[in-house]
Amino acid sequence: MKQFKGRVIVPGTCSAEALVSRGGFNTLASYQMALMFGDKQVKCGDQNNPDIYKKPMLDKALCLPMTIGSTTGGMILYAACSMGKQPACMLFSEPIDSLAASGAILGDVWTEAKMPVVDSLGEEFLDYVRTGMLVVVKEDGVVEVA
pLDDT digits (tens, 9 = 90+) for 1-25: 999 999 999 999 999 999 999 999 9
What pTM was computed for the model? Answer: 0.97
Give how far Cα 35 sits from Cα of 16, 46, 67, 83, 139, Å. 22, 13, 18, 8, 29
pLDDT of 38 strictly over 90: no
Q: Among 117, 109, 123, 110, which residue's Cα sits nearest to residue 87? A: 117
Domains and CATH numbers, the chain: 2-145 (3.50.30.10)
Which residues on neighbouring strands pair with residue 62, listed in sequence order? 19, 90
